Chains A and B, each alone.
Chain A
Amino acid sequence: MKTIYTPTPLVTHADEVRIISKRFRQGAQDIDRYMELDGYKAARKALEMRPDDIINEVKASGLRGRGGAGFATGMKWSFIPKQSEAPKYILINGDESEPATCKDRLLVEYDPHSIIEGVVIAGLAVGAKLGFIYLRGEYRYLLEIMEKAVADAYAKGFLGKKIFGSQHEFNILTQTGAGAYEVGEESALMESLEGKRGLPRLKPPFPAIKGLYGGPTVINNVETIASVPPIILNGGKWYASFGPNDKNGGTRLTCLTGHFNKPGVYELPLGYPAKKMIYDVGGGIPNGRQLKALVPGGSSTFLLTQEEAESATMDYDWFAKRGEFLGSGGVVAIDDQTCMVKVALRIMRFYQHESCGWCIPCREGTDWLKKTLTRFHDGGGVSKDIDQMLYLANNMAGRTFCALGDAAAFPTISIVKKWRQEFENHLDGRPCPFEPASREMALA
């Protein structure tokens, strides 16, 4: 089946710090061009380094998992046992499916070799000989770009039996998914790669000890692994210096979506003030409206009110202090003419659809929440529903095999708590007060 390739639009802003997006627009899909732009220098450097030194450099960088969980990457690598009878693996998670997140797409599209180079470095660091790059099934055109890049790297001898003329062997296989949000969860991802339904595994054992095919496995997000080559090339300290402290190092691709005047994917340093992100980088809210709510990093995160959003800084610490999450980089601006009951319903419809059904709190919780929110938005809500929804969501959080249950609970809890008045405005059969306005916005 032929796919029509239309390049994804790119945007720029003066405050961007271009570390992983520096090769965008430069023709870096071509391996020779990639090498002219400092490509594969970090992998060559890593070949001369001791594995522990590679890991220490990544630790010093303050790089944390960009898929959403924010786990320290160097730490994750250090959990892989030095000696292992079972082969070790590197698995790259390109199942990008968290609503509002559209950054890994750009890395694969415009700089696929940076991912390959990162995988090779991770392999050298932990002693793995095989890496997998798993892309979601919808990203077929990206899979084609990735497959070509892998083939070109083999042709140059950068992958294979003796990479870069060394004694090291390293291979990469690409893999396609076939449509499932849950597969973005690391243990479900391994199940899917093993040719099974994407159900999460019980942890422990963690993937670092017993992962893919039973071997120790490093699982990193596409953006995380693409951040590794510049760290190795320029040093962990250099990378960390872009963020506010060594726990929040570097930059991340920030996807501005929803009600922004200038939506797009921007590479911003960690700790960037959210207010500037909204009104300067994102150009503010269209049609002279006000910001009502902000999704900070994918629909699984707690939503912020306007006041909270305007005082936030986009780093892990600011959110962690509040018991909340920075998330995946997928930011959604929601204007003051949008119904928050409808937002809660649309988010819940997604989680209900994507719940794998393996464990009961998530399967039943998402289903009942969707039913309640649907009835509520249709004007059939009763006042006890409001607390019932909070009760359901609170009982789902932390009680499921994987984070999907939390992901469904967190936005719901924050919306019901912070915009409770909007729920009360829907009671007694009253029609949604925002419906005509939302429609007008959509058609504008």
Chain B
Amino acid sequence: MMQYSPALEQRFQKLVAQYPWKRSALIPLLLYAQDEVGHLSDEVISDIARRVELTELEVRNVISYYSLLRTKPAGKYVVQVCTNISCMLRGAEEVFAHCRQRLGVDHKEVTRNGNFSLEEVECIGACSWAPAVQVNYDFHLDVTPEKMDTILDTYEKQTQQ
């Protein structure tokens, strides 16, 4: 039996009860569980399947469709650099290249100390403030390679706390 924080457990119970069909709770359950646990482990999948009365296979079928859901651990901070058209035109490729160099990892890889994952992502809806980067759920706008260093420094400090 999975143990979540009391706040998450409470949220889960509310979610499962609130929709016309129980299954509608599936995607929020998965995303919130991932936020707390770090990834969707076998245990989490089996627990959520039970809560929404689906088979594990059905749950895995949904997970594999959505880009934010992952079944393997990621870094503590997932650095997501958008390189879609509006960001590309304002230097996103240089920002991504800078992140690769500084973190020493490539797309979808995790740093050895587990602090950071790097991802090149598609449009994150911050196009007028391009290039845009999302670290976990935090948006960083009008990013330059120099600004990226400051951003990464801040998160690095938080990992040491």
Interface residues of A (CB under 8 A from B): 1, 3-4, 6, 8-9, 87, 96-102, 104-105, 130, 136-141, 173, 175-181, 192-198, 213, 255-259, 263-265, 295, 299, 330, 332, 334, 338, 343, 346-347, 350, 353-354, 356, 439, 441-443
Contacts and interface: CB of A to CB of B under 8 A. Distances in A.
B5 to A, nearest CB: 11
Contact of B89 (A139, A180, A258): A258
A195 B69 contact: no
Contacts, number: 161
Contacts of A193: 24
11 contacts: A8-B126, A96-B125, A98-B123, A99-B86, A178-B31, A180-B65, A263-B130, A295-B85, A334-B89, A346-B88, A347-B85
B56 to A, nearest CB: 14
Given A98-B123, A178-B30, A194 B24 contact: yes
Contacts of A98: 123
Contacts of A8: 126, 129, 139, 141
Contacts of B139: 6, 8, 141
- Which 3 A-B residue pairs are closest in the complex by CB-CB distance? A179-B67, A195-B26, A195-B23
A4 B85 contact: no
B150 to A, nearest CB: 14
B105 interface: no
B28 interface: yes
Contacts of B62: 195-197
Contacts of B31: 137, 176, 178
Nearest to A260: B128
B68 A179 contact: yes
Interface residues of B, number: 49
B159 to A, nearest CB: 14
A133 to B, nearest CB: 13
A259 B18 CA distance: 45
B103 interface: no
A6 B129 CA distance: 13
B116 to A, nearest CB: 16
A3 B137 contact: yes
Interface string B85-105: 110111101100000000000
Contacts of B128: 102, 255-257, 263-265
A176 B136 contact: no
Contacts of B129: 8-9, 102, 263
Contacts of A100: 85-86, 123, 127
B89 A101 contact: no
Contacts of B84: 99, 299, 346, 350
B123 to A, nearest CB: 4
Given A195-B23, A259-B89, A3 B136 contact: yes
B21 A194 contact: yes
A194 B20 CA distance: 9
A370 to B, nearest CB: 13
A173 B19 contact: yes
B52 interface: yes
Interface in B116-155: 122-130, 134, 136-141
Interface in B14-34: 18-21, 23-28, 30-31
A439 B88 CA distance: 10
Contact of B123 (A3, A198, A350): A350
A137 B125 contact: no
Contacts of A4: 138
Contacts of B141: 6, 8-9
Given A1-B35, A99-B127, A101-B123, 15 more contacts: A3-B137, A6-B140, A9-B129, A87-B20, A102-B126, A141-B137, A195-B23, A195-B27, A197-B62, A257-B130, A258-B85, A332-B86, A346-B83, A353-B122, A356-B65
A194 to B, nearest CB: 6
A140 B140 CA distance: 14
Contacts of B24: 175, 193-195
A149 B106 CA distance: 40
A6 B106 CA distance: 28
Given A99-B86, A354-B122, A443-B94, A178 B137 contact: no
Given A3-B138, A99-B127, A102-B125, A177 B26 contact: no
B64 to A, nearest CB: 8
A264 B141 CA distance: 12
B108 to A, nearest CB: 13
Nearest to A4: B138
